[in-house]
Amino acid sequence: MKGEERFEIVYKEGGALSSIRKIIRDNETGVQYLMVECGYGVSITPLLDKDGKPAVDARYGF
């Protein structure tokens, strides 16, 4: 992955006076994470599929 960033923001909503929610993809594994920023706090957690496994972007074919 030379020249490509490891993590990429694929979706973003909110802002200004509310929290900011982002979906971030790991470009090596395809795993997607939810990141929430509110004031000085930040939380991040993997998104899970219906079986409780990490959600993987369909383009990664896992």
pLDDT at 4: 83
- What does the radius of gyration of the chain's CA atoms come to, in whole angstroms? 13
Yes or no: say if 47 and 57 are a contact pair by the CB < 8 Å rule. Answer: no
- Mean pLDDT, 10 residues at a time, the chain of 62 residues: 84 88 95 94 95 90 64
For the whole model, what pTM was predicted?
Answer: 0.83
The one-letter amino acid code at 1 reads M
The rounded distance, in Å, linking the Cα atoms of 28 and 55 is 14
Look at residues 62, 21, 19 and name the one whose alpha carbon lies nearest to residue 9: 21
Q: Tell me the three-class secondary structure of 34-46, residue by residue.
A: EEEEECCEEEEEE
pLDDT at 20: 95
pLDDT at 17: 79
